[in-house]
Amino acid sequence: MSRLVFRSVAALAALLFTCSLLAAPTPALLPLSQIKPGMTGVGYTIFSGDKIQPFNVTVIGVLPNLVGPKQNVVLVKLSSPEITQSGVVAGMSGSPVYIDGKLAGAISYKFGTFTREAIAGMTPIEEELAVSGSREPASGALSASDSSADRHYSLPGGWAQQVGVGTGAYLEPIASPLVFSGFLPSVIGRYSSQLEKYGMLATEGGSVPASPSDASLEPGDMAGLVLISGDLSVSAGCTVTARIGNQVYMCGHPLFGFGKVHIPMARAHVVATLASAMSSTKIMNTGGLIGSITEDRITGVMGRLGPAPPMIPLSLSIESGGAVKQFHFQVMQNSKLTPLLVSMATLNGVRSNLTYNEGTTFRLEGTIDIAGHGSVHLSNMFAPTDQPMPDAFPIAAQVEGVFNEIFHNPYEQPHITGIQLSVSSLPNARWASIDNAWSSKKEVHPGETLTVKVALRPYRGSPYLREVPVTIPAQASPGVLHILVSDAATLDRIEQYFPFGPTARLADLNQLIRLLNEERTNDRLYVALLQASPTMLVEDKRLPNVPLSEINVLGERNPGRTTVLWQSELGERSVPMHEVITGHQYLTVTVK
């Protein structure tokens, strides 16, 4: 295509997009005050393909303040041939309801599982539109720490009998399909429970190429949030209630309940509706990016058509048996979800490799690039265990843990610009436990070298001996000196390197990055000399052997930024072992 033709096509596309925005005026609205029992109307949603289909709606009554102060639910009965078969469907939330030709609200709530009774809750339209600007509801956002019961809204007395449901019946937000493409069922199963806390229903689906018509949304169409895209994809979807200019309102309830967000918005296409006595759901594919989700509130979700917000590029390299396989993803940037999503993508990438075997040892190397700061470097080795989890799971758990440290820091909002992870597999279980340790001398002088002998027992192998020469520092005080022979985790724990989390004493994100980069690794044998004298942790610095007279002075100069440990490390040696080391032994020598 010539450059002139390309510019012409781009200009035409921009013109069509602008015209489509102008063609979306504010619809006529029916306020809650005018909705009465017995009124009938029509709702719109998609059951298959991109065909918007009508269904009948009859108003049963209004449940005032059911969700919260000034947050009401209209109880309605739905009917159509499709709804008779499936009941209220996951992905149906946001379906617009018109009464007397005016937009009255969005289908958003249903009764609990194992019911196909077509009775639903409708969010009044003025409350859904209030998610934008100064009219946003005052209620806080939900989070995954809330139990599922926190989203159950019991019917007031007498209503259960009136609508023909059992005593104790409750309304809950209609689940939103969370569509996984390219993921192993075992990986989906491991993480789905965490995502279901947000009201998501994990399903398998796919993605389809972007189309020029993707942004031509109408009430009743499907749209969604993109969590991961690329070689793997994860997206959540619900139904569009209204479109006003470039603003799109959908769901009628929160998706994640994060409040103000910047999440890519995409067109979604319904493949089919799966009817189930437990919970019927729409099976959907995700189309092209069409804008940004900007509000995720208690009464609905709002997005803006246009450019999508940037995502975090993630590259994952898997090496096994000399063959290398590359994966490339893009992950949404969100402090609550990004660590979980990166963990999911990492575990799935490793386990989906054709040469993956349980009983394999893995080495992880990687970097996390942060705008305006240095990179966080990852390096560790993981051996298989007898725990009931995939052998690759500890890799994903470490990546998630580091991301949580970065995203949940109290200093500033980090902007991750890229993630590079490399995982290589080594045959067999490569780990050894520290069986015993002893020193070549019981009495030493400052400046003298002694040999620490360590007996190690490898997994299903013959025990062997490793000698580590250690020099006693010149500043060692006379008396008992402890020698700790250990793995990385024990030494970190003994030192309380992160006592109650390091963020309480650090000054900024740069200091946190430095501490993360100093973490010890599993594949080294550590020998540390410990003396019974105070160490002060001041921000990201360690000050061993601090005189008692100076502890208060340093604390006053750095209020809230200090921690005192009642032992000091005089020296440390580590040797590479090329296998995961576990366990520890204490020795003592006397310094003369």
* Residue owning tokens 């007898």: 386
Chain segment 271-301, per-residue pLDDT in tens: 988 887 677 888 888 889 999 999 999 999 9
- Reported as type and span, the H/E element at residue 244 is strand 233-244
- CA 503/CA 501 separation, integer angstroms: 6
**What is the DSSP code string of 191-226?**
HHHHHHTTTEEEEE-EE----TTTT---TT-EEEEE
Question: Hey, what amino acid is at 557?
Answer: R
Q: What pLDDT does 9 receive?
A: 35
Q: Which residue from 575, 570, 543 is spatially nearest to 469, judged by alpha carbons?
A: 575
Q: Are strands 176-181 and 200-204 parallel, antiparallel or unpaired?
A: parallel
Provide the pLDDT for residue 151: 74
> How far does Cα 421 stand from its chain's mean position?
17
Only one residue has tokens 């048996």, namely 321
Residues of the chain scoring pLDDT < 70? 1-24, 113-116, 133-150, 164, 166-167, 277, 354, 495-505, 533-568
- Alpha carbon separation from 583 to 228, 484, 491, 547 (Å, rounded): 39, 11, 10, 32
pLDDT of residue 469: 95
pLDDT for position 147: 40
Q: Where are the domains of the chain?
A: 32-305, 312-426, 431-591
What's residue 560's pLDDT? 58
The one-letter amino acid code at 59 reads V
Residue 45 and residue 55 in contact, taking contact as beta carbons nearer than 8 Å: yes
Cα distances (Å, whole numbers) of residue 551 to 219, 500, 536, 555: 66, 20, 8, 6
pLDDT, tens digit (0-9, with 9 covering 90-100), for 29-57: 999 999 999 999 999 999 998 899 999 99
Question: CA 239, CA 227: separation in Å to the nearest integer?
Answer: 17
Q: What angle do CA 242, 243, 246 make, to 5 degrees?
A: 155
> What does the alpha-carbon distance between residue 93 and residue 440 come to, in Å, rounded to a whole number?
73
Q: How far apart are the first and last CA of the chain?
A: 84
Query: What pLDDT, on a 0 to 100 scale, did the predictor assign at position 566?
Result: 59
Give pLDDT, residue 254: 92
Topology of domain 312-426 in CATH is Ubiquitin-like (UB roll) (3.10.20)
Kindly give the residue spans of alpha helices, DSSP state H, lying in 496-560: 509-517, 548-557
Quick one: DSSP state of residue 80? -
Range 345-371 burial, b when 16+ CB lie within 10 A, else e: bbbbbbbbbeebeeebbbbbebbbbbe
**pLDDT digits over 60-119, tens only?**
999 999 888 889 999 999 999 999 888 899 999 999 999 999 999 999 999 875 565 789
The pLDDT value given to residue 549: 61
**Cα distances (angstroms) measured from residue 377 to each of 367, 422, 517, 521:** 5, 12, 6, 12
Please, are residues 59 and 74 in contact by the beta-carbon 8 Å criterion? Answer: yes
Q: For residues 100 and 497, give the distance between their C-alpha atoms in angstroms, rounded to a whole number.
A: 67
Tell me, what's the pLDDT at 229? 92
Q: Cβ distance 287 to 268 under 8 Å? A: yes
